[in-house]
Amino acid sequence: MNNTIVGFPRVGKLRELKFISEKYFRGEVTKEELQQVAKALRAEHWKFQKSAGINLIPSNDFSFYDGVLDTAVLFNVIPKKYQELNLDEIDTYFAMARGYQGEAGDVSALAMKKWFNTNYHYLVPEISDDTEVKLVGEKPFEEYVEAKQFGIQTKAVLIGPFTFLKLAKYQGEKKAAEFAQDFVKGYVEILKKFESLGTEWVQFDEPALVQDLTVEDLNLFNTLYKNILKEKRNTKILLQTYFGDLRDYYQEITALDFDGFGLDFLEGKETLHLIEKYGFPEGKVLFAGLVNGKNIWKSSYEKVLGTLEELKKYTKEIVLSTSCSLLHVPYTLQNENSLKPEVEQYFAFALEKLQELRELSVLTDTDDYRIEKEYQENKELFAKERLGQNPDVKAKVDDLKEEDFIRLPKRSERQKIQKDDLELPIFPTTTIGSFPQTIEVKKNRTAYRKGEIDKAAYDSKVNEFIKACIEKQEEIGIDVLVHGEYERNDMVEFFGENLEGYVFTEKAWVQSYGTRCVKPPIIFGDVKRTKAITTSYLEYAQSLTDKPVKGMLTGPVTILNWSFPREDISLKEMAYQIGIAIREEVLDLEKAGIKIIQIDEAALKEKLPIRQSDWYTEYLDWAIPAFRLCHSGVKPETQIHTHMCYSEFNAIIKDIDNMDADVISFEASRSKLTILDAIQESGFETEVGPGVYDIHSPRVPSVEEIMGALETMLKKIDKDKLWVNPDCGLKTRGILETEASLINLVEAAKILRKQY
């Protein structure tokens, strides 16, 4: 059986592309040097795939920053403000990606958005009425030819016109459909060009097809592709979907004259049923996405081969593929030196997945794969008892009862009790948790990591930072203090490291956007808290002041969403395991005299399913309870806060209120104020702290500006429910601007109090 992948990661095995790009941005290397590294990386990636035995290797899956941005530039979708800089091609591209400030002018970057349900972010193309859509770039052809020079006949990959038009932002009157013909022309031209180069397959990525679509959307899709497919000659077109299934549109879409359909059998839970129910079009090739492109576990050969056997009943020609691009997994286990073999045996990163594809392909061609060694070994791994199981944890989850998810008394009563007990002024001031991570803070951590100082020395330094932080906050006059989070550099890693069941990697980086990569920890086994994690720091902080110090934890959904999850148990079960661990920490904090505890859910929305019909059944029905589980056991006097880094939660506002926190803070500066209407209209009960200034910039907001923001908020929010705080943690900020901003924030609250 032939095999392929949807796409390969681009940043390089050791993030070479990141480092050379950043050097280029700083003016330390030339364009030529940048291009050379990129070219070498592409060559390396093709060679990896070739030597691993991949038959149909993709090209144009490389990108300097982002594939959607590449597509925009390819079709001349370059807003005027960038064109007017008069930079060359690559610098215009980077100006769109990162903004530009220099001799040529001053423009901000395009907006960035989450790529469907992943942690990858794309740049949002901007189309205005006078945008002249036409094919102007050469990148796909150049890279195709480049691969051919290595003797590799690649499958050229492009983001399809439908997904592109769905993701773009329209600045003027004209909407997507009005640009359809221009895109048809452009894509037809691309096909012709590939035709002349002798390309066998072109892959159009259309993940937008797995969303809920309207009739208009489907019309747009049909218009685009009926016209493009009309012009098809020898080069075959693969319609590639991923992150879900085609559901209601399966029949309609597969009736179109594509030569191949790439379907996701993992996140596309309905894909197999759809084929069983409606069959698969004759004479077409099925690109079966069976190896997970999003997670780091080995595939079960039994499962994959079983599905392939079933599929063979419906179609003759199958190409084994990944469920989506391997962009979402780290490069290779070869980079890992500290993973124990008994742990590592379960993992497959990108390179190891290539290996799996080859082995699986070979197995399908044998008379009886069940007797082959590769199959047997893989089967044994899945059959034997899995490492990291903990019956106690399982029992705790099984024993959870309805009341464990319900906090009593109800919130309106608690709010009264807390008002009396905490004696806070109206418009209480607070911060989101972290204070600037200065060089000394980082030095302390590094010294401890390297073993230069012991835990006691490390902690005593952390306590010094805490003391200074408390003193500063008292001096500024903040009402609810924080300890500053000096003991952690990352809100998930810190808890992962202190919980049993987690595994960490050294170099398992995954691109999050542009040159930024993240290294998510792996949930390997059952998650358990074995010791108190934050109490000693909080207890110390509280001992220094009479004002309440807010305990600071990360919530279970965020911990889960920013980790690689297990595949042998459900997300719900993992969320509950982590929820129980955080609950234990919450109760310990309470016992230690902490009266206010914030449980951050910065990534709550991250894994909200793409289709609205799946929101509850697949996600919110356990995600919200997992949060409630953390705090349902506290006394009525204990005030529970949560925080989210965004305010686009209008659509799930009821669910946010159902988390049953007493207070929520979120980002609301700039133009994000529509949330205020939603809060008012939904009868939102949780007290709210919409961020009064943007911490992502070093700018110090004036007192008047903050008052202005608060006055706007007071038009929609009850005065007894409004908190005053920045919009996120302060850890990336400098000390000076932080102090100046907080002084103004406190001043604004004081002036406002006099008026109410």
Q: List interacting residues with ligand GLN (CB under 6 A).
A: 432-434, 485, 491, 552, 600, 602, 643, 645, 728-729, 731
Q: Which of 332/431 has CB closer to ligand GLN?
A: 431
Contact of 499 with 524, CB cutoff 8 Å:
no
Closer residue to ligand GLN, CB minimum distance, 724 or 728: 728
* Nearer of residues 416 and 696 to Zn ion, judged by Cβ: 696
Q: Specify the stretch interacting with Zn ion by CB under 5 A; choose among 65-73, 135-143, 438-446, 601-609.
A: 601-609
Q: Which of ligand GLN, Zn ion, none lies near 434, with the C-beta cut-off 5 to 8 A by kind?
A: ligand GLN
Per CB under 5 A, does 652 bind Zn ion? no
Structure token digits, residue 579: 């929820």
**Alpha-carbon distances of 90 from 11, 289, 505, 506, 743, rounded to whole Å:** 17, 34, 34, 32, 43
Among 57, 552, 608, 645, binds Zn ion (CB under 5 A): 645
Residue 476 backbone dihedrals phi, psi, to 5 degrees = -70, -30
| 696 carries an active-site annotation | yes
Q: Provide DSSP, 656-693.
A: HHTT--SEEEE---TT-THHHHHHHHHT--SEEEE-SS
Q: How far apart are CA 584 and CA 478, in angstroms?
A: 28
* Contact flag: residue 728 with Zn ion (CB under 5 A): yes
Q: Which strand (E) or helix (H) includes residue 356?
A: helix 350-364
Distance between alpha carbon 655 and the CA centroid of its chain, in Å?
A: 20
Closest separation between CB of residue 558 and ligand GLN, Å? Answer: 8
Alpha-carbon span 466 to 435, nearest angstrom: 10
Q: Which of 273, 328, 641, 696 is catalytic?
A: 696
Q: How far is the CB of 214 from ligand GLN (least distance, A)?
A: 34
CB nearer to ligand GLN: give 354 or 586: 586
Nearer to ligand GLN, 199 or 534 (CB): 534
Q: Minimal distance in Å, beta carbon 643 to Zn ion?
A: 6
User: CA–CA separation, 237 vs 660, rounded Å?
Assistant: 50
Q: Is 612 exposed, middle or buried (0-12, 13-18, 19+ CB in 10 A)?
A: exposed
Instruction: Give the relative orientation of helices 180-197 and 139-149 as an angle to the nearest 10 degrees.
Output: 20
Q: For ligand GLN, give the closer residue by CB, 249 or 494.
A: 494
Q: 360: which 2 tokens?
A: 């699986």
- How far is C-alpha 295 from the geometric centre of its chain's CA atoms? 13
> Which range, of 155-163, 670-678, 720-728, 743-751, touches Zn ion by CB under 5 A?
720-728
Counting residues that bind Zn ion (by CB under 5 A) gives 3
Q: Least distance (Å) from Zn ion to the CB of residue 562?
A: 13
Stretch that binds Zn ion, among 2-10, 337-345, 397-405, 725-733 (CB under 5 A): 725-733
Q: Please state the closest distance from residue 435 (CB atom) to ligand GLN, in A.
A: 8
Q: Measured at CB, which residue is nearest to ligand GLN? A: 729
The answer to whether 603 contacts Zn ion (rule: CB under 5 A) is no
The whole-angstrom separation of Cα 498 and Cα 487 is 12
Q: What is the 3-state secondary structure (H, E, C) of 67-127?
A: HHHHHHHHCCCCCHHHHCCCCCHHHHHHHHHHCEEECCEEECCCCEEECCCCCCEEECCEE
CB of 138 to ligand GLN, least distance (A): 40
Closer residue to ligand GLN in complex, CB, 552/629? 552
CA distance 582 to 553: 8
Site membership for Zn ion, residue 722 (CB under 5 A): no
Shortest Å distance, C-beta 645 to ligand GLN: 5
**Residues noted as catalytic:** 696
Binding site residues, Zn ion, CB under 5 A: 602, 645, 728
